[in-house]
Amino acid sequence: MIPEIGHFFVIVGLAFAIVLAVAPMVGIHKNNSALIALAKPAAIGQFIFFLISFLILVYSFTVNDFSVKYVAANSNTQLPMIYKVSATWGAHEGSLLLWALILAGWTFAVALFNGKLPEDMIARILAVLGVVSIGFTLFILITSNPFERLTNVPVEGRSLNPLLQDIGLAIHPPMLYMGYVGLAVAFAFAIAVLLKGEFQMAWARWAKIWTVVAWAFLTLGIALGSWWAYYELGWGGWWFWDPVENASLLPWIIATALIHTLSISASRGTFQSWTLLLAILAFALSLLGTFLVRSGVLTSVHAFTSDPARGVFILIFLVVIVGVSLLLYSARSHLVTKSKPFKLASKETILLSNNVILVAMMATVLLGTIYPLILDALGLAKLSVGAPYFNTVMLPLTVPLALLMGFGFASRWIEDKPQRLLQKLWLPAVAALLVAFIAPLLLLPEFSGLAVLGLLMSAWIAFSALHWLVQKNPHGQIKPSMQTAGSVLAHIGFAVTLTGITITSIYSIEKDVRLEPGQKYAINQYEFEFKGVVQKEKDNYLASQGTVIVYENGAELTRLYPEKRTYLSQTMPMTEAGIDAKLSRDLFVALGEKLNGDAWAVRLQYKPFVRWIWLGSILMAVGGVLALIRRKTAAPRAEATA
Amino acid sequence: MSPLRKKRMYLVMLLLTAVSVATFLIIQAFNQNMMFFYSTTEVKSGAAPTDRDFRIGGLVVNGTVKRADDSLLVSFDLTDSQTPVTVQYTGILPDLFREGQGIIAKGQLNGNGVFVAEEVLAKHDENYMPPEVADSIQKAQMAQTEMPAMPANHKN
């Protein structure tokens, strides 16, 4: 009975979504304020019903209700409680319900915290969110009902894919979805602006707050996914240019560009149409990501389901949403855009150039991701595009992006002088050059031009950001505004990630070796001694646990216990790596397979600076959110984050 | 032409050049890193390139997986259910690699018609068959019209 209530509440949620989508629009059209006022209670009702429905699904998991097909397929009695809860969104149906819940949550938040936006704008935004919600709720009800029952109730469930039995992956999807779906708010804002035919500067600031929060979640979600892939897929890679990873990177890149144009729109009142286009694009890419992950068109670690009906539904939804938005955009964007003159040397130019570079990055990643899918769909060829393509293309785009970023902080709106900028920025430039050339000599084993380039870019961004922070408050009398400090932190986070990527990519050492018990293998100053493998029995899996003693310059440093696990409910084995993590390097040991005798294939890795990649992402997200905090006493500033 | 217009023209030309160079480089990188997929039958018939990397897929033939005694060299046969091709690989095989499983390998053909793999991929789902492999098996079976099609055995 309880699962039926869950199912029924999804339908009630749909009813609220329909009210939400229709009433405010009709109200605005007929000038009926009672209808407009329906938007808020509809948003609240929608959220409450989706929340209860979702909690019912969680409940079905916790009480092992295997009469529910989705529970039987993704849980079993042996599963630890935390993973029973996270199994709720561990597969297709439940993760879509989470999608719908998060969308309802964002809608609810917009209804409550509508700031200084006029009532009709909020009503339009809520209505657009209602339309998106209708699409997804229909998708759930028609193709992916998580509450579907089984007539033959199994005694035991199939259990959650062991790969997903991990704390990193328990929180990765909700984070990512918060980001994906949060971009729907920026999208709804763009559509509302186009419908109204007016775009005030203060509204851009409102839209920026929502976009930055969504972007921060997206940043954390992507970083969590990368971190999980690193230790859980077992092989120490942190980014594979897998289509599903790309699918999350695409909206991130565009959301990053969007935040910056929203800054221009908020403080200069220009570039509105470009801002709106990016907002539409960002959400379109979120939908594309959902399509790629959920339709089964991909060969990927994530492509667990494949049901053509689902793919077709999302594809149609995507085409309709994007098509209608772009039509509306082409018909009405001229109404809202204002061009204000600015010189070639100005903050506007720098921000715009970096926007163009970000869009180019997105386009190249998109090309490499969907071109093979399109060829395959047309039956022309089966091909894949390797990681070297993405690396080759991203590098030359990142260099000008980083260079301009440094100039962006110090530059002035409307008109600046290159000489003034150079005079101002000589200090960070010299400091960056020193770091880039001296750090590798002192710290890194061998000289590499790319390492110098990567460090130069990172140091340049970090130093010019810090320089900006100091210059704004030359005598340290005024505390820097949170907006400046947060923005500086976010950009330093980018520099930290860039440093991590550079050093890990160039200086990692990876060895697959055959080791007998007692045998040693050395990488740099580290020596790995393999002590053999013992069998262990755990709650819901059997483990072959290896012991590897690591020596640094002859002295014992640590012991690592990599495992090969076999989960009781499934036959597939899992690799659990043994990792010794430090800020400056990871030592990574994974068991391959058992060879003849007591020998094992073992993967040994030395990964310098790999933690910086994720650390930098955290700084980016935290910095972005801090930048939104405004001190009450401070006068409103026209300054925006660069 | 006024100086301002001249300046603008230079700027536009500069932009156009930059965009063309970038596009050229992107397409170049794209072409170099595109990897086609070939079924084992296509590889045996000589359809696959010999001078560049490509991907091959099929089922691992039962009883063909051989490990060297003193290194991580391993060899096995892949088949689309009609034509087997021998694959060599040095390194650690993925967790789900096993006989009868559908896998994909990336690498090059050597002079003896042996596929030397740099990377072996098996998906993280025991019942999952890479679509390319499923497709090539289906094609191979359809080509053999004189023989009744046999269901691909990819269960563990």
pLDDT digits (tens, 9 = 90+) for B33-61: 888 889 999 999 988 888 888 999 888 99
- d(CA A383, CA A374) in angstroms, rounded, equals 10
Name beta bridge partners: B54: B107
Q: Are residues A382 and B36, on separate chains, in Cβ contact within 8 Å?
A: yes
- d(CA A530, CA A563) in angstroms, rounded, equals 13
Name beta bridge partners: A528: A521, A550
**DSSP structure string for chain B:** --HHHHHHHHHHHHHHHHHHHHHHHHHHHHHHTEEEEEEHHHHHTT-S-SSS-EEEEEEEPTT--EE-SSSSEEEEEEESSS-EEEEEEESPPPTT--TT-EEEEEEEE-TTS-EEEEEEE--SSTT---HHHHHHHHHHHHH-TTSPP-------
Alpha-carbon gap: A191 to the closest alpha carbon of chain B (Å): 31
Q: Looking at beta carbons, which residues of chain A come within 8 Å of B125?
A: 161, 304, 572
Mean pLDDT to the nearest integer, A541-566 = 93
Band of residue B150 on the pLDDT scale cut at 50, 70, 90: very low
- pLDDT value, residue A127: 96
Please indicate if any CB of chain A lies within 8 Å of the CB of B92: yes
pLDDT digits (tens, 9 = 90+) for B60-74: 999 999 988 888 999
Q: Are residues A299 and B67, on separate chains, in Cβ contact within 8 Å?
A: no
Residue A591 and residue A563 in contact, taking contact as beta carbons nearer than 8 Å: yes
- d(CA B49, CA B60) in angstroms, rounded, equals 22
Please indicate if any CB of chain B lies within 8 Å of the CB of A572: yes
Alpha-carbon gap: A565 to the closest alpha carbon of chain B (Å): 10
* ipTM given for this complex: 0.79
Mean pLDDT to the nearest integer, A194-214 = 93
Q: Residue A128: name the closest of A44, A257, A39 by CA.
A: A39
Q: Is the pLDDT of residue B122 over 60?
A: yes
Work out the number of other CB atoms within 10 angstroms of the CB of residue A412: 14
B76-to-A127, A196, A242, A282, B62 alpha-carbon distances in Å: 59, 65, 26, 45, 9
Alpha-carbon gap: B29 to the closest alpha carbon of chain A (Å): 5
Q: Is the pLDDT of residue A338 over 70?
A: yes
DSSP state of A172: H
- pLDDT value, residue A478: 61
A367: nearest CA in chain B? B30
DSSP state of A522: E
DSSP state of A148: P
Band of residue A634 on the pLDDT scale cut at 50, 70, 90: very low
- d(CA A584, CA A573) in angstroms, rounded, equals 31
Q: Is the pLDDT of residue B134 over 80?
A: no
- pLDDT value, residue A305: 47
Neighbour order of strands in the sheet with A585-594:
A509-515, A600-608, A585-594, A578-581
Burial A581-610 (b: 16+ CB within 10 A, else e): eeeebbbbbbbbbebeeebbbbbbbbbbbb
Please indicate if any CB of chain B lies within 8 Å of the CB of A571: yes
Alpha-carbon torsion (A343, A345, A350, A351), positive or negative:
negative
Mean pLDDT to the nearest integer, B93-105 = 85
Please indicate if any CB of chain A lies within 8 Å of the CB of B119: no
Global pTM value: 0.91
- pLDDT value, residue B154: 40
Q: Directed axis angle between helix A482-507 and helix A610-626, to 10°?
A: 170
Q: Are residues A389 and B71, on separate chains, in Cβ contact within 8 Å?
A: no
Q: Are residues A384 and B35, on separate chains, in Cβ contact within 8 Å?
A: yes
Q: Looking at beta carbons, which residues of chain A come within 8 Å of B76?
A: none
Alpha-carbon torsion (A406, A410, A414, A417), positive or negative:
negative
- Which range, of A262-276, A291-305, B56-70, B101-115, averages the lowest pLDDT? A291-305
- pLDDT value, residue A539: 77
Q: Is the pLDDT of residue A301 over 60?
A: no
Residue A225 and residue A266 in contact, taking contact as beta carbons nearer than 8 Å: no
pLDDT digits (tens, 9 = 90+) for A522-540: 998 999 999 999 999 887 7
B15: nearest CA in chain A? A353
For chain B, report the end-to-end CA distance as a whole number of angstroms.
Answer: 77
The first and second tokens of residue B43, run together, are 């590889």
Which positions 124-153 of B are in contact with A (Cβ < 8 Å)? 124-126, 128, 130-132, 135
How many A-B residue pairs are in contact by the CB < 8 A criterion?
Answer: 93
Q: Looking at beta carbons, which residues of chain B come within 8 Å of A512?
A: 72, 90-92
Q: Are residues B123 and A299, on separate chains, in Cβ contact within 8 Å?
A: yes
Best residue in B71, B95, B104 for a mutation probing chain A (most A CBs within 10 Å): B95
The first and second tokens of residue B107, run together, are 């690498």
Contacts of A635 (CB under 8 A, 6+ apart): none
Band of residue A637 on the pLDDT scale cut at 50, 70, 90: very low
Mean pLDDT to the nearest integer, A133-148 = 93
Band of residue B141 on the pLDDT scale cut at 50, 70, 90: confident
Q: B38 a known binding residue?
A: no
Please indicate if any CB of chain B lies within 8 Å of the CB of A234: yes
Q: B124 a known binding residue?
A: yes
- pLDDT value, residue B18: 81
Q: Is the pLDDT of residue A599 over 50?
A: yes
Q: Which of B33, B34, B72 sits opposite A601 (nearest CB)?
A: B72
Q: Are residues A299 and B95, on separate chains, in Cβ contact within 8 Å?
A: no
Which positions 427-466 of A are in contact with B (Cβ < 8 Å)? none
- pLDDT value, residue B155: 35
Give the best-scoring range by mean pLDDT among A373-377, A467-471, A617-621: A617-621
Which positions 35-74 of B are in contact with A (Cβ < 8 Å)? 35-37, 53, 55, 67, 69-72
Calculate what percentage of chain A has a pLDDT beyond 70: 94
Please indicate if any CB of chain B lies within 8 Å of the CB of A383: yes
Secondary structure of residue A612 in the 3-state scheme: helix
Q: Which of A233, A385, A571 sits opposite B33 (nearest CB)?
A: A385
- d(CA A281, CA A260) in angstroms, rounded, equals 15
